[in-house]
Chains A and B, each alone.
Chain A
Amino acid sequence: MPTPFIALDKLDKRYPDHHAVKSIDLDIEAGEFIAIMGPSGCGKSTTLRLIAGLDEPTDGDLRIGGDSMRGVPAFQRNTPMVWQSLALFPFLTVAENVAFPLRMQKVGAAERRKRALEWLDRLGLAGMAERNIAQLSGGQRQRVAIARALVTEPSVLLLDEPLSALDAHLRVRMQTELSRLHRELGITFVYVTHAQSEAFALADRIVIMSEGHIQQVGRPQDVYRAPANAFVAEFMGMNNLIRGEVRGNDEGMLEVGSTLGNFRVPTLTTRPEGSRGDFVIAADRVVLAADMEGPGIAGTVLGLEFVGSTQTVFIEIEGGTEFRVQKQQHEIEALDLVPGRQVKLNWDSRHAWLLPQPGTTH
């Protein structure tokens, strides 16, 4: 196995009033696009600042290219970052902003101007070089920040919620742009975001964090289909979590009893009766039927929410549990799903995902 390009080794960060990052381990390969996700306050931004050297870890080690970064100040790391606030220098022109890192490296004036202009051109900002930052639109400023971070041709780019200030349309365009840059440059991108859509659209692997711990690391589709625990399942949004206990084992299937009824869930190992049998069923796996005599759980449509060509249907089950079901628009119309309508929910048992037991690795 090759040595990882960036290695977090039991990395830990305590503030006087807050334990932000709790002894995390993470290996990032060279050239990988990795997204760190989690709710606000989960430690994802602190992790990024630790990699950049803007915060010193309390404990553990961080290695970049095999070298320990303990005690290496931020300005000697060449780990440029695109800031959520962009942090452009307001007293410098666009070209001077982009040339700033080169100036710090004592590159000659003519050379750094040439390289700054090249990067501006590459990011579609040709002709903007002499403008003030205040004269640019949000999307243009974003591009200046990216050009400024890449001008020294680093081997890693850190991005801290870079698109959160843009409107939806621009955000999608910038995603494409970032994806293209990552492909062309072949360098490592570490991208912190709370937006699932950005992480899924861009990342090779995603890291889910909560309360300073890493909850799961994996390819987006794996984390989505096979969440490691209830937190990840619920954080991913489009999963329905059913809590239950094991009633029996039957040839690779577990019998799980819950307040909603008895279900069969695929499993690789057996579990003793009475132990936890929590499982998830993805929103796009649930089948809806109008026939109330058929099998399944009965529920009432609460409301609908558009997500592109699909809709999310919110269904309340007796006892107060809420289900989310994703359906194409034509299916919604065929079933005439309006708030208040009674439906039956069902799914293929093979599509249920049993959550690993707490304390075991899956």
Chain B
Amino acid sequence: MRGLVWERLFWTGPVLLGVSVLVFLLMALIPGDPALALLGPYATEANLDRLRAQMALDAPLWTRYFTWIGQVLQGDFGYAYSVDRPVAEELWERGRATLLLASAGYLVCLLLGVGAGVFAAARQYTWIDRSLSVVSMVGISTPAFWLGLLFVMVFSIHLQWLPSGGIQTFGEDPSAGALLRHLALPALTLGLVAAALVARFVRTQMLEVLRLDFVRTARAKGAGEGRILWCHAVRAGIVPVLPVLGLQAGYVLGGAVYVETVFQWPGLGRMLVEAVTQRDLLLVQGGVLLVATAYVLVNLAADVLQAVLDPRLQK
């Protein structure tokens, strides 16, 4: 196990390095004057000159990379002209909102997806399985942004149960309850769409496991079906696919872009869309770097968890 975990940890370094190089290159290779692109159309000539000097545009690409990454590691992502504050401050504030939304959505996705998948597999070909299959088929085909609009129409406009957007209502005292009420719809939207994919995947996976010889052995021992499903099959079915469930975090983080836009959630996703629209490339650069780093770490965690739980990987 140690070996595998170390190997995985070891590989995370180069991957993060590659990510930073890619992010850097994306921005460095923009055609035209990068300083103009980075500071936007309303930049003063003095500011432009300062940035050009700071970026050392005539220096070789790799020196520029090291200068940039050195600043990033010190928490200096540059200045975002579109919001008129340092990129790092904006990332910190938006990042917390996205962390909350994405974790809640991911939780919904895992609980519903794994639960529905296992349940459907155990009841294969019954009406439960069939209706879950239909629901998950519709789920994977639903545009997240449209589902969000639908939820707003039903739960906010017609039923008036939950707020239609934002992270808190203006003029209200921020409280945990209020936060949860604002979180409910976006997290559900995000979780449901991702859960559909997980449910389909888990169902297929479980059906394969339920046919394996050790399940027959468990039956031959006199174990009941519930025990076979939850103690034997789920363990052997889910642990090997933990990395795939980790990859789902990417789906959730991507979906967060739509959901944050629909629900005006002040997170990184919406920030990125606004930054792209306004061509605030320093903000885009910082945001993409942050999200990708978080995603790499989630996948690392999933792999490590698998290595801890699967004895076959512990050689």
Q: Do A and B truly interact?
A: no
Residues of B within 8 A of A (CB): none
